[in-house]
Structure 1
Amino acid sequence: MIEKKIKSILYKIKKLFFNVFLIKKSNNDTIFEKIYKKNYWGSAESISGPGSDLINTQNIRIELPKIISKYKIQKVIDVPCGDFNWMKLVVDQSDIDYLGCDIVEELINLNKKLYSSNKVNFSKLNLMKDQLPDSDLLICRALFYHLDFFSIKKILENFKRSNIKYVLLTNSPNLENFINKDIINGQFRDLDLFKAPLLFPSNYLYKFEDIRNSDTNIIEQEMILWKMDELLNNINL
């Protein structure tokens, strides 16, 4: 118990230092590179953070193959792909062409060395401005949790320029009085896609539980699937 409290205090100190001296003094192109190099999220298993640990990806690894099968998915783009820690297990059991993208070039280069094949590729990509390759499914897990509202809007505008059939996004299923808060890019907060200022439509195709808090038994993250055009045609950009 004492050890847990000490770790919590040390993490808060680390978080304060990072927010004050690194994030606020960095541009968007270098924030996530610093997070990667400093292992800011503190996972011993995945440089992408505890949300990418195998214990926290059990359900999404069950649900993704179902989506791939039901919607006849052949080409998948995964942004951000992170270190490919859990997704490699999904790709191994699926007959898909996979493209993992991330803004951190060093991470992409490492993934290429470790995992590239005729069906698996990686590429550096800025989701706010770079052209997205044609695809059946875009997976964007937990990214919006770390971005300000302006950046999310730029990404959605970039989606409009793409030729992607389906998009899978992370949502926080919160209480009615929950209010979305803006942040500095690189920080973290829960985000309800259906509340202001985002106001996503409820015309989704499918949703499933992603991460459940083992202490409180509360669902902290869920994944929601939309047809891309039906999502974008029903939000104000």
Structure 2
Amino acid sequence: MIPNRPPVLAHERFVADRDNFAALDLAARFERIKKTNLWGAAGSVSGLGSEDPATAAIREALPALLQRLGARSLLDAPCGDAGWIGRMKLDLDYTGIDIVPSLIEANSERAARGELAGRFRVADITRDTLPAADLILCRDCLVHLSFDNIARAVTNFRASGARFLLVTTFPEWDANRDCEDGDWRALNMATAPFNWPAPRELINERCEEGGGGWRDKSLGLWRLDELPDRIRIATGM
């Protein structure tokens, strides 16, 4: 385990602004985060983790992983501003969804100009019917959701018919806790309350935030049909 984890800007800024989130639903919370640039990135409204240095390891590893899996379609859920992935020119059918309409509008305009490939639509991963895809990429998202909404999202991912889920996990983290929607905390998807099996593959993102204090930040690959059924039970579905 990594001792003395440093503070994270997304959490500190949410705490400072918490009173302004009190009456907001899920969509409004993330709209506020986008409008106020709460996550503090200069190059991407999706946060520091979406800037080029933070995505280099993923951009290197993702094409080969998709090829090994035989994935011909990818659902980016959520896609944010589609900054780093939009420049990859992946050879597959790409759909990006996000709960923030202004992000989808901007992405769709860029796609119409030929700056991005794929299609974009507004959707809430916790409740809306999702487009079909071989693989769902859910990066830097569940870390911002409550346990209840994580359970709803994973149930929804399963219902979409996708085979694989590639999701953010911190394999050396041992203290999963609940949080308000829009806040941030680390999650290890292989420990309680999730208790997922070991990931089939792990892409270490080589995270340098906090002087390397979050160097275990990774994308873990799971088959959705191998995840515990109790994820669905947690939401009463």
The two structures have a TM-score, normalised by structure 1, of 0.86
Q: What corresponds to 1:5 in structure 2?
A: none
Runs of 4+ residues deviating >6 angstroms? 10-13
Counterparts of 1:128-207 in structure 2 under 5 Å? 128-175=126-173, 178-202=174-198, 204-207=199-202
Greater strand proportion: 1
Q: What corresponds to 2:4 in structure 1?
A: none
Kindly provide the amino acid, as one letter, of the partner of residue 213 in structure 1: E
- Unaligned residue ranges in structure 2 (runs of 5+): 1-6
Q: What corresponds to 2:3 in structure 1?
A: none
CA shift, 1:213, in A, is: 2.4
Mapped pair 1:95 → 2:94: no
Report the aligned-residue RMSD.
Answer: 2.3
- Unaligned residue ranges in structure 1 (runs of 5+): 1-7
Mapped to 2, the partners of 1:140 and 1:232 lie a distance apart of 18
Kindly provide the amino acid, as one letter, of the partner of residue 184 in structure 2: F
Mapped to 2, the partners of 1:218 and 1:140 lie a distance apart of 18
The two structures have a TM-score, normalised by structure 2, of 0.86
Deviations 1:107-159 (A, max 9, x none): 10010001246951100010011111211110000111100101001112212
Q: What corresponds to 1:3 in structure 2?
A: none
> For this pair of structures, how many residues does the alignment match?
223
Mapped to 2, the partners of 1:89 and 1:13 lie a distance apart of 30
Deviations 1:67-116 (A, max 9, x none): 111111111100110001100122x1x21111010000011001000124
Kindly provide the amino acid, as one letter, of the partner of residue 223 in structure 2: K
Kindly provide the amino acid, as one letter, of the partner of residue 207 in structure 1: L
CA contact (8 A) 1:100 1:122 kept: yes
Counterparts of 1:105-124 in structure 2 under 5 Å? 105-116=101-112, 119-124=117-122
Kindly provide the amino acid, as one letter, of the partner of residue 110 in structure 2: L
Which structure would you say has the larger Rg? 1
Q: From the superposition, tell whether residues 208 and 11 of structure 1 become closer, same or farther in structure 2 (CA, over 3 Å).
A: closer
Give identity over the alignment, percent.
Answer: 30
Q: What corresponds to 1:213 in structure 2?
A: 208
Relative contact order (C-alpha < 8 Å, sep 6+): which is higher? 2
